[in-house]
Amino acid sequence: MDSSFHFNFPGSSTYCIAGYHRKVAQTIRPLRLPFRAFRIALITSSAAIIITICAIASYAASSPPKPAPAPAASNTGFAPDSRTLFAPILCLAPPGPARASRAIAIFDRQLAFQRKLSFHPKIGPSLQHVIDLLPPRQSTLIRAAALYSNSEVPWHDQADGTHQICVAGQPDNADYLYTLVQQWRSPEEPARFSGIFSLKPAADSAPANVSSVTGTLAGELMIDTYGLGELVDLLGDTLREFHGDLKPPWDSAAGKFNHHDRAAMDRFHRQMPHLAAKFDRYFKFNNLLDEFNSPAGPIVLFNVDMEVRQDALKKYPLLYEFYRKLVSAVVAKSDILDAHGNYWMREAFDHGHIHFTIMLRDGLLTPFNGAMQPAGDSVALEEITRGGYRALASGQVTSLAMNFGLANIGFTTDYRRDAGSCTFVNRMNAVPQLVAPPGVHQVMDLVAGDFLRVLATGDGGLNSKLSSRMLPNGVYDFAAGFTAELNYSPTLELLARIGDAIAKEHNDRVRAEERAFGEELFDAFVADYNEARPAILALDSDKGERQVKSK
């Protein structure tokens, strides 16, 4: 396969799973400002899409923002209340006659497959034996160098010393079955999966003392529904649905639940009653969105502040207990920023409060500053064909009245899209910083500092790739993988073993309850989707088609 963008697996130069894309010479429309960074946010409805990406497309202007345009007509760019919330699925089918009917057929296939893949995994006996020999997922990276020398693991050895474990997946009635296989082989038909986990000794490691390895975890999945590009288009159209009533009295400050929020919630309950009922049961909304007036027309700050109703989780006792402890101990944040420090997306988990913030103007993503004010041109996601973005994250856990965690977890991402393919390439761009109390911090840095430095800078640094490409027969090939150099740290390994002993007993059962909870929301979504079929089919009229196409 001729590939201009590929993922080489240790031990072979022939594996090429991340797909390829044709070279893109220019964007769809002339850029008024130079591209410096962007982010694509792929937020899809409750487990209905195969891959969810948290990214936002953005311009990072090298010159000051342009003056505001002349006042626009009220509600320009936002979807009318009369349009079904499921209208964006038309983006999954190419334009043309009976587009809604074709989109429904595509989405039906995806939902049936998604249920098996997301909620009903089944592990073959030989693969289960391997899993039992591997450390829990929380410490796989930390213990990778030591794991390389574990002779009990049935590694498939390569000539250069690389150790591999290969996995295949396929539907098995109502389940999705994963089995251990001897070697990597790309999927050859829809709904099939191939995966690989490999460890390769670093160049300076002695055969008898492997102190550092390059770890690779990757997979390839073939589906007959849609690719990442179609998901970007779906998101671009879905964002037009994020509004309240777009009427005065306008908000003067962010965070107040009022008639704008109630209008959005009323529409949600009216058009998606089953899923809305589940949200009412499991979540409390302190705020949903804020709407402001401007010379250019209404601005929507989709500004979610919600909490999980913990008592509602008691039907899942292990998940309830896990989440109850999480609420009191964990704070995590992630921001998407441009070169000027303006935001395209903010998300956080702060002692039980779940926050998510984006800004929309004319139904398009818009950058905003720390005062929640517009800070540049809006972006039409479907028109972006290349660019880059940067993300910054942090997380900490409180234990014994002390905070421990990581900050400055930064990544840069390159994005490319053409008519048949879409690709994200992510690279860690800084060494994460340890968060710990004074005194303890120095000890922690001695324990973990070298591991983090090698993770960020060794062998090119931690990087990952996600892509989809359409094959000549119309089937889509998805591929994802990450690779990083993982240094051996005996102290970290000891700490990981202690943590594993505490966590392992409940891991599988908690994940089973997580899947059951997810499927409960998924079922509600599917029920609403099935009831909305007549409204979706009505979009096959000329008027409906124009509504979906307009941005």
Q: Average pLDDT by consecutive 10-residue portion of the chain (551 residues)?
A: 31 31 29 24 27 30 37 68 96 96 98 97 96 79 85 92 96 98 95 96 77 93 97 96 96 96 98 98 98 91 97 95 89 90 94 97 95 93 88 88 88 93 95 84 73 86 95 97 86 65 66 95 98 97 52 39
| Nearest-angstrom CA–CA distance, 313 and 138 | 24
3-state secondary structure 409-422: EEEEEEEEECCCEE
Residue 208 backbone dihedrals phi, psi, to 5 degrees: -85, -5
| Nearest-angstrom CA–CA distance, 318 and 47 | 21
Q: Tell if the pTM clears 0.75, that is, is over it.
A: yes
* 438 exposure class (CB count in 10 Å sphere: 0-12, 13-18, 19+): exposed
* 47 exposure class (CB count in 10 Å sphere: 0-12, 13-18, 19+): buried
| Nearest-angstrom CA–CA distance, 45 and 275 | 10
Lookup: tokens for 519: 């499927």
Q: Are 490 and 239 in contact (CB under 8 A)?
A: no
Q: Are 305 and 355 in contact (CB under 8 A)?
A: yes
Q: Are 240 and 547 in contact (CB under 8 A)?
A: no
Question: Is residue 405 helix, strand or coil?
Answer: strand
- Given this model, what pLDDT does residue 502 score? 54
- Given this model, what pLDDT does residue 498 score? 62
How far apart, in Å, are the Cα atoms of 66 and each of 31, 33, 135, 349, 375? 13, 9, 54, 35, 10
Helices (H), 52-176: 99-119, 125-133, 144-148
The residues, any chain, with a CB within 8 Å of residue 425's CB and separated by 6 or more, are 5, 413, 414, 463, 464, 465
Residue 283 backbone dihedrals phi, psi, to 5 degrees: -130, 145
| Nearest-angstrom CA–CA distance, 100 and 94 | 10
* Closest by CA position to 135, among listed 547, 401, 496, 463: 496
How far apart, in Å, are the Cα atoms of 386 and each of 30, 392, 423? 12, 21, 9
DSSP code, position 209: B
The residues, any chain, with a CB within 8 Å of residue 251's CB and separated by 6 or more, are 258, 260, 290, 291, 292
Largest pairwise CA distance in the chain: 73
